[in-house]
A and B are shown apart, each in its own frame.
Chain A
Amino acid sequence: MRRPAPPVYSPTVQRLEGLAKLTGRECYVDDFPLEEFLWGATVRSPAPRGRITRIHFDPDIEWSQFTVVDYRDVPGPNVIALIESDQPVLAPGYVRHVHEAVVLLAHPDRAALRRAVAAVRIEVAAEPAVFDFRVTPRPNQIQYGPDNILKHLRISKGDVERGLAGAPIVVEGTYETGAQEHLYLEPQGMIAALEGDVLVVRGSMQCPYYILKALREALGRDETRLRVIQTPTGGGFGGKEEYPSTIALHAALLALQSGKPVKIVYDRGEDMAATTKRHPSLVRHRTGVTPDGRLLAQDIEVVMDGGAYVTLSPVVLSRGIIHAAGPYACDHVRVDGRAMFSNAVPFGAFRGFGAPQTHFANERHMDRIAARLGLDPAELRRRNLLRDEESTATGQVIRDGTDRRAVLEQALLLADYDAKRAAHTRFNRSSAAKRRGIGIATFHHGAGFTGSGEVMLASRLVVAGLPDGTVEVRSANIEMGQGTLTVFTALAAQRLGLDPAHVRIAEADTARVPNSGPTVASRTAMVVGRLVERACDDLLRRLGAEAATGDAVRAAIRHWHEGHRGAELLGEARYTPPPGVVWDDVRYRGDAYGTFAWGAYVAEVEVDLRTYETRVIDFVAVQEVGKVLHEVLARGQVQGGVAQAIGWALLEDCRWKDGAMANAQLTNYLIPTSDDLPAIRVAFLETPYPYGAQGAKGLGELPMDGPAPAIVNAVAAATGADPCVIPLTPERLMADIKNAEHGTRNAELRQVGR
C-alpha cells in the first residue's frame, strides 16, 4: 500500500470523515454499541422560582425497578463548575427556572422511563420571578447580588461626554435581538459507565476538559478515576460548550448509583426547552457625528439576559461590549455592559458569543446615521473604517496590513451595489406588492479567547511519532463539522512533508490527549493549529532531523523507536502569546485579541407587502481571514454561518412562557430550509497572520456577525421602515411599516427624505 509521499500536501484533500458521514457509518453517541445499559431521563421543575415543597412519586409505578437520584446523591459540592459556582447539578430543594433538573431516573426500557418521568410531580411554592431583563427588578425579584446584575463591564476611551457635547449632530437608537436556539441536528447526549474504578463519560461535546473539571468537582473524584471521550459531534455552535457538563454529570450520577452504563439522549423537545440559547440583548446608541459622517463619539449601553445562573454570561458580555463600537475609528467611546439575572433557562455560548448582538445594533445604527445625514451607507462606512495605526474602543492599535476598505469595495463590487440600488428604485416604483432593497454591514471578529484568556488556558498539544513511522496528533480539540480533523491532518502533513494518509488525529480522550483548550472562540485552526505546527517542529528537533521531510521523517521515526523500544516519541508545543499583546483586564484596555478577522456583507431582499414576508434574494459575503486553509471547508463555514444568521434575523422566534421556550419544537420554531435561502456567494481576501497556522485567523464565528444587520438594513431600504428588533418576523415588520407610514416613530427619517 505504500506510495511515495508527495513533497507538498495537496490542498484538495477532502473532508476526512466525510464519506463515513454520507453513508451513515459515523458513530455518534446514540449509535455507540452498548450492552446491558439503562436509559437516563430528567425530571424538571414546572415553576420558574420557588421552594420545592413536595416531590410526589405516583404509586402506580413500581419505583424499585428504577434508579432514582436527587441532589442528596451528589458526592461532592452540588455545583456545575464553570466561572462561578452558583449552578447546582440538581436543584437542592429550590428552583430558579422552569426545566431546572430536580430528579434523575434510569431504567432499561425507554418507554417505561418516559411514563415514569410523567409520573413524578414536583410541587413548588412559587415566589416572584423576573422575566424582563430590560426593566429594573422590584425588591422581591432580586435574586443575585444587590441588583440582579450578573456582570457589569465598562470600556472607556477618550471623553465621550465632551465628544457628544461638541458634536454637531447626535443620533440615538435602541436595538433588540431575540434568543436563538442552536438547533444542532444531533441532540445532546452522553453515556457514563464505570470501567473498573474509572468513570468513563462519552458523548457529544466541544470541551472534554470542561466536563472533566465539572465531574472532578461535583463527584469529588480525582482525574485518575475519570475519563472523558468525545464521540463524533453532530453540530455544536456553542450549544455543546458548557451544557454537556450538566448532562455528563447527570449520566454519571445515575451510572454510579446503578452500577450500570447509563445513556441520556435528549429528544428534540427537551433539548430545545432545557438547554442554552443565544443571549437576548438590548443595545442603546448615542452617537456624535460631523455632517460629513465622521464618528466623533459613541456612547453605547449593552444589556443582556443571562438567565437564572451565571454560566458564561460574563465572557459573552465581554466579547459583546468589545465589539460594540464596530470596526471604526472614533476618539471617544464609552460602552457600559450588564448581564442581568432572570428566571429564564440560562443563556449560553452561541457562535459569535455576544458580538452578533452588538454588531446588529451598531450596523443598524450606522444606517440610521447615514439616513440622517443623507449619505450612502457604504460611504459612511468608507469614511470610518479603521486604518492601520488607528485604535479600537479598547485602545488596541490595529496594524495588520489589512485593507478593510478593500474588503468593503470587493463586497460592493460582487453585489453590484450601485446598479442594484438604482434598479430597486425603479422596481419599487413599478411594483404594487413587492419592495426590494440592498443593505450592507461591515464588522470584525476577534479570534481566540479574549484578553489574557489564551495565556490562562496555557494550551498544550502533542504530536507523537509512532513505531510504524506514522504520526498522531493528540489534542483536545474536536470535530463538530467545522473540519478540525481535516485541517489538523493537513497542517501536520504539510509541516512534516508527509502524505496525509500517514497522519492521524487521536480521539479526544482525556486519558490520552493533553489539554489544548476548548473548541470554541474561532481558536481551533488559528491557535491550536499553530500548536500542531510547532509540535511537529519539536518532533523533528527530537529526531535531530530538522531538515528532513517526507520518507526521511518516517524513516527517522522508525529508527528512533528501534533504539528506544517501548518509549514514546513526542513533539510538544505550549501556547505562547504573540509578542507585544498587552491586555489590562481591570481597566478593559489594550489588545483584546491577537488579531481580528474583517467582513463586509451585502444582502438583497424582497419584501411582500401583502404578507410582510422578507426573502433574501442575494447574499454576498466577503471576508479577510488571514490564510484560507481549505477552500471548501472555509466556504462551508461562511455559508452555514450566514444561513444561521439569516434564521436569527428573520425566522427564529423563541416564544416564552414563565422563562421557558413555549415553542420548543421544529413545527413552530422555524429554521431556514434550502428553499428559504439564496445561493450565498463567498469571497476571501487573504493577509496572512504571522501567529496563526499557515497564516490563518479565526473564521467560524465571523459569518454570524454580519447578516442580520445587512438584511434589516436592506429591509429598511426597501420599505422605508426602520426596524430595530429581530427576528424581523412578518408581524413585527407589519408594525414597523405601519409605524413608518403613520409617522408615529422615526421622525428623524422624515428629515432624510429631503
Chain B
Amino acid sequence: MNNSALRTPHSTLTISFTLNGSPISLDVDPTDRLLDTLRYRLGLTGTKEGCGEGECGACTVYLDGLPVNSCLVPTYQVRGRRVATVESLPGARLDPLLAHGATQCGACTPGVAMTACWIIDHPDLLGSHTVRELLAGNLCRCTGYDGIVDGIAAALQARR
C-alpha cells in the first residue's frame, strides 16, 4: 500500500528487534507507529486501534516485558528491544477470562488480555495496587469490567 512518490520524503531507517521471540529486521519510516507496523506491515492484526491517542489500551503490547500503547510508540524506537503481541499469548492462559465473561464484543479484548496476563504474571503488584487500578488503562465499553476483574482474580487464585 505504500506509494513512495506521494509520501512526505523521510529517510528510511533499518531496525532490528525481537518480535514474539524471533529476530526481525525492517525498513521503517521515522513517523511509522508500532501499531501500524504490526498490523499493516507484519499482518499481526490481533493488536487493535481503539483511539490512536493512548487512552483506550486496545493496542497494548509488551515492550521489554512492560505493557505499552503501541499507537504511541514510533516503530524505530523498538530497535534492539523485545516486542510481544497478543499473538504470543497461549490460549490456555485465557480460559479464566473466557469463563468469567471478560470478553463481549472483543475490540478491547486483545489489549485487556495483555494487561490481564501481565497482572497475573506480577502478583506482587497487588501489594500496592488493586486489579481495578492496574486495569484502568484499558477501556472496555461492554463488560462493565466485572467479568475481566473476576477472570483475573480466578487466574490469580489458580496460581496459588
Once bound together, how far apart are the Cα atoms of A15 and B110, in whole Å?
16
> In the complex, which residues of chain B have a beta carbon less than 8 angstroms from the beta carbon of A671?
139, 141
A516 within 8 A of B: no
Q: How far is the CB of B19 from chain A (nearest CB, A)?
A: 14
B2 within 8 A of A: yes
For B48-92 the 0/1 string (1 means CB < 8 A from A) is 111111011010000000000000000000000000011101010
**Residue of chain B at shortest CB distance from A182:** B141
Q: How far is the CB of A46 from chain B (nearest CB, A)?
A: 22
For A163-193 the 0/1 string (1 means CB < 8 A from B) is 0000000000000000000111111000000
Residue from B48, B113, B137, B141 having most chain A Cβ neighbours under 10 A: B141
A21 within 8 A of B: yes
Tell me whether B1 and A679 are in contact (CB under 8 A). no
Cβ-neighbour of B106 out of A17, A30, A182 (below 8 A):
A17
> In the complex, which residues of chain A have a beta carbon less than 8 angstroms from the beta carbon of B50?
185-187, 268
Residues 212-250 of A at the B interface (beta carbon under 8 Å): 232-237
Q: How far is the CB of B27 from chain A (nearest CB, A)?
A: 16
Once bound together, how far apart are the Cα atoms of A639 and B147, in whole Å?
9
Once bound together, how far apart are the Cα atoms of A77 and B99, in whole Å?
49
Cβ-neighbour of A268 out of B51, B102, B131, B144 (below 8 A):
B51
**Residue of chain B at shortest CB distance from A681:** B146
B154 within 8 A of A: no
Known A22-B102, A111-B7, A639-B146; contact A185-B140, beta-carbon cutoff 8 A: yes
> In the complex, which residues of chain B have a beta carbon less than 8 angstroms from the beta carbon of A666?
51, 53, 55-56, 139
A545 within 8 A of B: no
Known A110-B1, A185-B48; contact A636-B109, beta-carbon cutoff 8 A: no
Tell me whether B107 and A674 are in contact (CB under 8 A). no
B45 within 8 A of A: yes
Tell me whether A21 and B106 are in contact (CB under 8 A). yes
A136 within 8 A of B: no
Tell me whether B98 and A15 are in contact (CB under 8 A). yes
The count of chain B contact residues (Cβ–Cβ below 8 Å) is 60
Residues 5-54 of B at the A interface (beta carbon under 8 Å): 6-8, 39, 44-53
> In the complex, which residues of chain A have a beta carbon less than 8 angstroms from the beta carbon of B87?
23-24
Q: How far is the CB of A115 from chain B (nearest CB, A)?
A: 8
A643 within 8 A of B: yes
Tell me whether A22 and B103 are in contact (CB under 8 A). yes
Tell me whether B136 and A635 are in contact (CB under 8 A). no
Once bound together, how far apart are the Cα atoms of A31 and B137, in whole Å?
23
> In the complex, which residues of chain B have a beta carbon less than 8 angstroms from the beta carbon of A642?
144
> In the complex, which residues of chain A have a beta carbon less than 8 angstroms from the beta carbon of B120?
none
Known A14-B99, A235-B105; contact A674-B7, beta-carbon cutoff 8 A: no
> In the complex, which residues of chain A have a beta carbon less than 8 angstroms from the beta carbon of B45?
24, 27-28, 30-31
Tell me whether B139 and A185 are in contact (CB under 8 A). yes
Tell me whether A675 and B132 are in contact (CB under 8 A). yes
Cβ-neighbour of B105 out of A24, A233, A676 (below 8 A):
A233
**Residue of chain B at shortest CB distance from A676:** B136
Tell me whether A109 and B1 are in contact (CB under 8 A). yes
Q: How far is the CB of A545 from chain B (nearest CB, A)?
A: 35
Tell me whether B141 and A183 are in contact (CB under 8 A). yes
Cβ-neighbour of B144 out of A232, A633, A680 (below 8 A):
A680
A132 within 8 A of B: no
**Residue of chain A at shortest CB distance from B92:** A19
Once bound together, how far apart are the Cα atoms of A680 and B104, in whole Å?
16
Cβ-neighbour of A679 out of B3, B113, B137, B146 (below 8 A):
B146
A53 within 8 A of B: no
Once bound together, how far apart are the Cα atoms of A182 and B139, in whole Å?
13
> In the complex, which residues of chain B have a beta carbon less than 8 angstroms from the beta carbon of A237?
141
Once bound together, how far apart are the Cα atoms of A304 and B17, in whole Å?
55
Once bound together, how far apart are the Cα atoms of A644 and B148, in whole Å?
16
Tell me whether B143 and A19 are in contact (CB under 8 A). no
Tell me whether B7 and A639 are in contact (CB under 8 A). no
Q: How far is the CB of B5 from chain A (nearest CB, A)?
A: 9
Once bound together, how far apart are the Cα atoms of A31 and B132, in whole Å?
30
Known A24-B85, A639-B143; contact A268-B52, beta-carbon cutoff 8 A: yes
A55 within 8 A of B: no
> In the complex, which residues of chain B have a beta carbon less than 8 angstroms from the beta carbon of A15?
98, 101, 103
Tell me whether A22 and B146 are in contact (CB under 8 A). no
> In the complex, which residues of chain A have a beta carbon less than 8 angstroms from the beta carbon of B124?
none
> In the complex, which residues of chain B have a beta carbon less than 8 angstroms from the beta carbon of A677?
132, 144-145
Tell me whether B143 and A23 are in contact (CB under 8 A). no
**Residue of chain B at shortest CB distance from A642:** B144
Known A636-B101, A640-B144, A666-B139; contact A186-B48, beta-carbon cutoff 8 A: yes
Tell me whether A28 and B48 are in contact (CB under 8 A). yes
Known A21-B109, A31-B45, A235-B107; contact A185-B3, beta-carbon cutoff 8 A: no
B155 within 8 A of A: no
A108 within 8 A of B: yes
Tell me whether B103 and A18 are in contact (CB under 8 A). yes
Q: How far is the CB of A712 from chain B (nearest CB, A)?
A: 19
**Residue of chain B at shortest CB distance from A635:** B101
> In the complex, which residues of chain B have a beta carbon less than 8 angstroms from the beta carbon of A108?
1, 3
Tell me whether A482 and B53 are in contact (CB under 8 A). no
A3 within 8 A of B: no
Cβ-neighbour of A22 out of B6, B44, B91, B145 (below 8 A):
B91
A673 within 8 A of B: yes
Tell me whether B135 and A640 are in contact (CB under 8 A). no
Once bound together, how far apart are the Cα atoms of A37 and B40, in whole Å?
13
Q: How far is the CB of B138 from chain A (nearest CB, A)?
A: 8
**Residue of chain A at shortest CB distance from B105:** A481
Tell me whether A665 and B53 are in contact (CB under 8 A). yes
Pull 25 A–B residue pairs with CB atoms less than 8 Å apart, ordered by A.
A15-B103, A20-B106, A24-B44, A25-B46, A27-B45, A28-B45, A28-B106, A108-B1, A184-B105, A185-B50, A185-B140, A186-B107, A233-B105, A235-B107, A268-B53, A269-B52, A640-B104, A641-B144, A642-B144, A666-B51, A674-B132, A674-B133, A674-B138, A675-B133, A680-B146
Chain A residues close to B by CB (< 8 Å): 14-15, 17-28, 30-31, 37, 39, 62, 65, 107-112, 115, 182-187, 232-237, 267-269, 480-483, 632-633, 635-636, 639-644, 665-667, 671, 673-677, 679-680
Q: Which 7 A-B pairs have the closest CB atoms?
A: A24-B46, A234-B107, A481-B105, A21-B106, A643-B144, A481-B104, A639-B144
